[in-house]
Chain A
Amino acid sequence: QVHLVQSGAEVKIPGASVKVSCKASGYTFSGYYMHWVRQAPGQGLEWMGRINPNSGGTNSAQKFQGRVTMTRDTSITTAYMELTSLRSDDTAVYYCARGSDYDDTGWFDPWGQGTLVTVSS
């Protein structure tokens, strides 16, 4: 059974960084892209970027370029997303989601349970 388990909620002050983890199980970790999507309170879904766990190559949305870093540790089948220079409007639930294959046009399934990141002074 494919499963993604994310790290717990975080509270950060403006200007800080946050690193969210996503532990994968039940499939070949290096065989599928891992995507990151966020959802601000009461808002829709926003794609942040993805990592190829096999090569470590990444592609991020223009909005987040320079602020987001996606990495992975294949030995423990875990992906990470770090967002820097946090602002109050970065307050959101952050999701990891497995891509359908090595294709940015594919679908996401399954999704992690989400990690709430609150940015507040």
Chain B
Amino acid sequence: QSVLTQPPSVSGAPGQRVTISCTGSSSNIGAGYDVHWYQQLPGTAPKLLIYGNINRPSGVPDRFSGSKSGTSASLAITGLQAEDEADYYCQSYDSSLSDVIFGGGTKLTVL
């Protein structure tokens, strides 16, 4: 069981908007630790998508955005494209475990 909870799957039609949640607790997200998001295309290594809750690395389209509130964070993808079909992971830090933690991952299907 992952310390950070993500929905196993989400889906949307091309052009639509989807959100992926990442729920933690008072020892990780709720303690103020940053949340980072990764995209993993099939058969490839994860790629940084959002860092520090809301920031996009250069080269990441502005269709991707992140937010954080309380013990949760969210990744939003607008204007869905077929190439967005991938697994998405959130990452943070847990002070009780003194470990880096990941969400269980969410598979995005573009219908």
Contacts and interface: CB of A to CB of B under 8 A. Distances in A.
Q: Interface size for chain A: under 10, 10 to 19, 20 to 34, or 35 or more residues? A: 20 to 34
Nearest to B95: A105
B51 A100 contact: yes
B104 A108 contact: no
Contacts of B33: 105
Interface stretch (B13-21, B41-49, B74-82): B41-49
B102 A111 contact: no
Interface in A69-121: 95, 97, 100, 104-114
The 8 closest A-B pairs by CB, nearest first: A109-B48, A47-B100, A107-B36, A107-B51, A105-B93, A111-B45, A44-B105, A45-B102
Q: Give the most central of A44, A61, A111, A114: most B CB within 10 Å.
A: A44
A44 B2 contact: yes
Interface of B: 2, 33-34, 36, 38, 45-48, 51-52, 57, 89, 91-93, 97-105
Interface in A24-68: 35, 37, 44-47, 50, 59, 61-62
Given A100-B51, A107-B48, 6 more contacts: A35-B100, A50-B100, A95-B46, A104-B100, A105-B33, A108-B36
B46 A111 contact: yes
Given A44-B2, A105-B33, A107-B51, A62 B97 contact: yes
Nearest to A100: B51
Q: Give the most central of B45, B52, B91: most A CB within 10 Å.
A: B45
A113 B43 CA distance: 10
Interface of A: 35, 37, 44-47, 50, 59, 61-62, 95, 97, 100, 104-114
16 contacts: A37-B46, A44-B2, A45-B46, A45-B102, A45-B105, A46-B102, A61-B100, A95-B45, A95-B46, A97-B46, A104-B100, A105-B93, A106-B51, A108-B46, A110-B48, A114-B45
A107 B91 contact: yes
A36 to B, nearest CB: 10
B45 A112 contact: yes
Given A107-B91, A111-B47, A113-B45, A44 B100 contact: no
